[in-house]
Structure 1
Amino acid sequence: MNETRVTDLRTQRGWTQERLAKTSGITVRTVQRLEAGNDASLDTLTRVAKALEVQVRDLFTTVDESDYGRAVTGLDARAARQQERRDTITDGLEALYYGIGALFTIAVIVGVASDAFHNLAIFLIPAYWIAGWLLSLFLFLVIVSPRLYRRYPLSRDRKQPTSDART
């Protein structure tokens, strides 16, 4: 049994047990047990920590050095590593989109300037940026983000709004 700070963290936000349960995707009874100091699964602790926007170890005043305590402490390190890997992949895909767009823009401008393309080809530039943005947004939401979540379950999308509507 560990002494938790869940009640303090929840009341600092002005949340009820019901709101914490809804935001974290657990039952009110689980919140009550957690606030009473009963042990909970690492999945439950991760959900509550994400909802309260703190690290798992911050949910406790002290964490005993049992296997459970080491698992809780190690969970934050694993979550940080997974978030870093997810961010690296996301940044790489974003850089690829901008890199291709820059090369495409330069190619169209050079082509129009050297009369290799008709002057109306200049409209391909905004078409690439708008259509490319919409397509990449769709692909990211439908394909990339779910795969990243399955591969790195302790991470989240940086652009995903937080529980109190901040980004």
Structure 2
Amino acid sequence: MVNNRIKQLRLSKNLSQEQLAEKSKVSVRTIQRLEAGNEASIETLNLVAGALGVPVKELFDDSTAQENKIQNAEEKLHYQLQSRHDEFKTVQHLYSAGYIIVMLLWGVCFNFVHNDIWSAVMGVFWIGGWMLMGPLKKLIILKCVDPKLDAKYPLTASRIDKDREDK
């Protein structure tokens, strides 16, 4: 049996066991077992710590007894976060490069339009495209990129800093 602070941390954040289970993407039974002091895998500890917004070492009263497990958990989490950040940054760069190319090609089309009305319409769409760049990028990240990265790097799924680079 392991003394831990999971129940105390959960209550301090005003979360029920069900809410913590949903937020950390584990079962309610797993939360109950953890609060009862049962052993847990490194992955489970990382998920619960991420959902509570604390490092894994803060889950335990006496972290020296669990030092090896905590160190392994933090190493796995750091590796997944770094890998996720690298992939996320690559997706952002690809999106930006693709968008700039499309907008430059659209701008080149102005040379081939000799009608003032069509030229004005194309200009409005060109400006509108630049204005839509930010919201479109957020939508793509929210609906496409994040779910795939959450599945690929499960320890990062419940973290609020999952898409931000470490400082």
- TM (norm. structure 2) is 0.67
The answer on 1:116 being equivalent to 2:117 is no
Cα pair 1:111 1:117 within 8 Å, conserved = yes
Distance 1:116 1:18, change over 3 A: closer
SS at match of 1:154: helix
- Could you tell me how far apart the structure 2 residues matched to 1:158 and 1:7 are? 19
> Tell me, what secondary structure is at the counterpart of 2:155?
coil
Give the superposed CA RMSD.
Answer: 3.6
Q: Which amino acid aligns with 2:23?
A: T
Matched, 1:75 2:77: no
- Distance in 1, Cα, partners of 2:138 & 2:11: 40
CA contact (8 A) 1:145 1:157 kept: no
SS in 2 for 1:73: helix
Whose helix proportion is higher, 1 or 2? 2
Structure 1 residues 117, 77: CA separation in 2 closer, same or farther (over 3 Å shift)?
farther
Q: Is the 8 A contact 2:45 2:73 kept in 1?
A: no
How many percent identity over aligned positions? 30
For 1:42, the aligned partner's letter is I
Measured after TM superposition, the shift of residue 133 of structure 1 is 6.1
Partner of 1:44: 44
CA contact (8 A) 1:101 1:129 kept: no
- Greater RCO between the two (CA within 8 Å, min separation 6)? 2
Q: Deviations over 1:112-137 (max 9, x none)?
A: 2xx33451332442358649965984
Q: Which runs of 5+ in 1 are unaligned?
A: 162-167
Show the counterpart of 1:96: 94
Q: Is the 8 A contact 1:20 1:51 kept in 2?
A: yes
Check the 8 A contact 2:51/2:159 in 1, yes or no: no
Partner of 2:165: none
* Structure 2: gaps (5+ residues): 163-167
